[in-house]
């Protein structure tokens, strides 16, 4: 692949309804869309960093800087790129900034697959033609409010429900769901809102038949998570703690979790995600694909990576209309009656940005020529 130019777009889209997690309440999504142009094709990526450094250290402002001033110059120094895996190695000496790296990495995977005439899923080694998806629900005002929201999504076909929790809005909310929906695949996502002082609370959650509790403790911890997992029947899932293959290896060796949420953006792209997937598969640790309140571009990459065989749990890869009145890409992602999404077989990610919407939601644009 010979890259001719790269286009960065700062964009903003409003959520259909506000989304609340333990650390913030969001009404819109700021993100950076990336276009990597060769002579005949365009590959698309999405930098999922938020406007503020609440989830991790990156923001849209810092990611723009890192891509423009460090990562893109590294790409342009190369005469050509034979395989997309080369990008992960090329960026390796740049510390962290994984969401900036992921945007370019994913765009180049899309570009490569289009030039080869195959899907990104096939290029990665995916084995599934459908993936099961779940729904992620932000913190609600009361248990009754949460039950009503869950009921709506159950009617839409979702079987797995992930509920955001925080101190004071946790076990009673989960109990309310379990009373109303005895068979739902239910999980809780704490986004690092608790400490080991809350161990009795988590032991009480063992009675709720949760499929997992996601990142209950500090965002950079694997030691205390190992202590907590040792006394729980419910599996712990690590999210924010895992940024690399080495992080995953350390967590597995310590027994910090029994599953890992692999977010493409958090780990630095599709190559890194596949590497972590392979490590976990070797150790019998099932994984699943988390989301970042994604627009259509990032969702497309999530669908592709979820086709790998060790993605065992339904992911946070919802239908196009979950967060947005009108999504950025076409065709729309829809779920069937079994909460499944078809993995595209067309070249690249299988979805294309809608040009007029790409322009409509862009508030800053920069073209960088080779």
Query: Which of 282, 264, 281, 265 has its CA nearest to residue 273?
Result: 264
Query: Helix, strand, or coil here: 238?
Result: strand
Pairing of strands 259-262, 236-238: parallel
User: Strand runs (DSSP E) across the chain, as ranges?
Assistant: 5-20, 25-37, 42-47, 130-132, 135-137, 160-164, 185-189, 212-214, 236-238, 259-262, 287-289, 329-330, 340-342, 352-353, 362-369
C-alpha 186 chain-centroid distance: 19
Query: Helix, strand, or coil here: 334?
Result: coil
Q: Which residues are catalytic?
A: 164, 263
What are the angstrom distances between the C-alpha of 8 and each of 1, 5, 72, 167? 19, 10, 10, 39
State the Rg of the chain over Cα: 20
Q: Among positive and negative, which fits the CA dihedral 64, 69, 70, 74?
A: positive
* DSSP string across 3-35: --EEEEEEEEEEEEEEEE-SS-EEEEEEEEEEE
């Amino acid at each position: 692949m010979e890259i001719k130019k790269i286009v960065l777009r700062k964009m903003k889209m409003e959520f259909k309804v506000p989304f609340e997690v333990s650390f913030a309440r969001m009404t819109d999504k700021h993100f950076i869309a990336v276009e990597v142009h060769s002579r005949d094709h365009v590959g698309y990526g999405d930098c999922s960093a938020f406007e503020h450094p609440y989830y991790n250290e990156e923001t849209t402002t810092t990611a723009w800087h890192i891509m423009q001033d460090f990562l893109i110059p590294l790409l342009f120094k190369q005469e050509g790129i034979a395989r997309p895996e080369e990008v992960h190695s090329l960026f390796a000496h740049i510390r962290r900034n994984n969401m900036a790296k992921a945007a370019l990495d994913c765009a180049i995977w899309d570009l490569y697959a289009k030039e080869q005439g195959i899907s990104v899923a096939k290029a990665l080694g995916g084995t599934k033609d459908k993936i099961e998806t779940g729904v992620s629900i932000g913190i609600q005002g009361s248990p009754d409010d949460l039950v009503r929201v869950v009921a709506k999504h159950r009617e839409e076909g979702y079987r797995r429900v992930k509920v955001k929790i925080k101190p004071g809005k946790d076990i009673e909310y989960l109990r309310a769901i379990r009373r109303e929906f005895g068979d739902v695949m239910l999980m809780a996502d704490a986004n690092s809102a608790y400490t080991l002082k809350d161990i009795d609370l988590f032991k009480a959650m063992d009675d709720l038949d949760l499929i997992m509790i996601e990142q209950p403790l500090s965002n950079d911890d694997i030691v205390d998570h190992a202590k907590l997992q040792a006394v729980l029947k419910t599996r712990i899932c690590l999210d924010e703690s895992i940024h690399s293959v080495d992080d995953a290896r350390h967590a597995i060796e310590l027994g910090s979790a029994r599953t890992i949420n692999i977010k493409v953006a958090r780990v630095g792209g599709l190559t890194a995600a596949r590497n972590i997937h392979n490590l976990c598969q070797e150790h019998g640790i099932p994984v699943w694909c988390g989301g970042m309140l994604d627009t259509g571009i990032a969702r497309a990459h999530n669908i592709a990576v979820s086709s790998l065989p060790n993605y065992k749990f339904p992911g946070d890869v919802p239908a196009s209309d979950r967060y947005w009145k009108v999504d950025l890409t076409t065709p729309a992602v829809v779920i069937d009656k079994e909460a499944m999404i078809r993995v595209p077989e067309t070249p690249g990610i299988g979805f294309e940005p809608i040009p007029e919407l790409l322009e409509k939601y862009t508030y800053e644009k920069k073209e960088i020529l080779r």
